[in-house]
Amino acid sequence: MSQEVIATVLTGAGVLIGVWRMVEGVRRDLASRIETVDRRVDAVNTRIDNILLADRNA
């Protein structure tokens, strides 16, 4: 193989690894944000349930 082909293959591999790392970082950030939203939705659902139960018991 010529040096140009080897350099192109190594550059392509480096780009793919860099893109993979960026995608993984974004995926982790999104997963963290989704967990935060899920916790907030659960808290709101709990409040709604408590209000509905309070009205039922009154």
What's the rounded Cα separation, in Å, for the pair 58 and 34? 36
Average pLDDT over residues 3-28: 96
Residues counted in the chain: 58
What's the rounded Cα separation, in Å, for the pair 15 and 21? 10
Kindly indicate the confidence band of residue 54, based on its pLDDT and cuts at 50, 70 and 90. Answer: confident
Q: Which two tokens stand for residue 28?
A: 């982790």
Lowest mean pLDDT among 21-25, 30-34, 48-52: 48-52
What's the rounded Cα separation, in Å, for the pair 1 and 7? 10
